[in-house]
Amino acid sequence: MSLSIVWLNLKEYTHLQLWLFGIGAAFWVLSYVFITRNIVKNKFVEMPAGVLCANITWEFLWAFVFTQNMGEVIGIGYKLWFFFDVYVVYNFYRYGYKQIQVSMLPYFKWVFSLSLIAWLVVQYFYIKDGFDNPIGANSAYIINILISSLYIFLFLRLEDKSLISFTAAWARGLGTGLISVMCILKWPENHWLTCMCIICFLLDSFNLILFRIFKAR
């Protein structure tokens, strides 16, 4: 196997596709930077509780258990996502009660821990049984729709809108958008994935519009 395939798979992906994914992944890292900065600043985890478990277990599986086929350079991005999310999850155990309903407070850590295990098991067999595609995009976009929609609900529910980072939101939206373009170019026959990409774009755009609406008030 040549060195180019080890580090960047130029046999199965074009330069444009790899650049789109790589830049999109970098914007997701930037989003995580601002999420973690806000955790330090506000003592609040803005990643919605309902999807945080799914997100970190996906990143763990694709970073360390299964192997995407774009090359080792792209694999670094998967690992960076995971390690940022480890910090986010750690702080959710500390500050997660701030986004949880009062009736759930005595149980949220137990429910969250069980959800981590459940998502890990479900996603492992989803990938192992061949339902995912070579880079994990099928399962990733299921989770991405949850992220994009639950962010909207959390933003609308919070009295203090400054707890949600606008910079993290646009970086996440732009990163997902670039990766979506890559997926559509690479797998145009996967209409299910194309629909998921479009839905994520619409949800992320609406989220950014909400920021502008509430800022203007």
| Residue spans per domain, the chain | 3-216
User: What distance in Å separates the CA atoms of residue 196 and residue 141, rounded to the nearest whole number?
Assistant: 6
Using only the alpha carbons of the chain, give its radius of gyration.
Answer: 17
pLDDT for residue 58 is more than 60: yes
What does DSSP assign to residue 98?
A: G
Q: Which residues contact 66 (CB under 8 A, 6 or more apart)?
A: 127, 128, 136
pLDDT for residue 2 is more than 80: no
In 3D space, the residue among 184, 153, 148, 183 whose CA is nearest the CA of residue 168 turns out to be: 148
Classify residue 43 as left (phi > 0), alpha (psi -120 to 50) or beta.
left
Burial state string for 108-129 with b = 16 or more CB within 10 A and e = fewer than 16: beeebeebbeebbeebeebbee
pLDDT tens-digit readout, 66-124 = 999 999 999 999 999 999 999 999 999 999 999 888 888 888 899 999 999 999 999 99
Tokens of 40: 């330090």
Percent of the chain with pLDDT over 70: 97
pLDDT tens-digit readout, 141-165 = 999 999 999 999 999 999 999 999 9
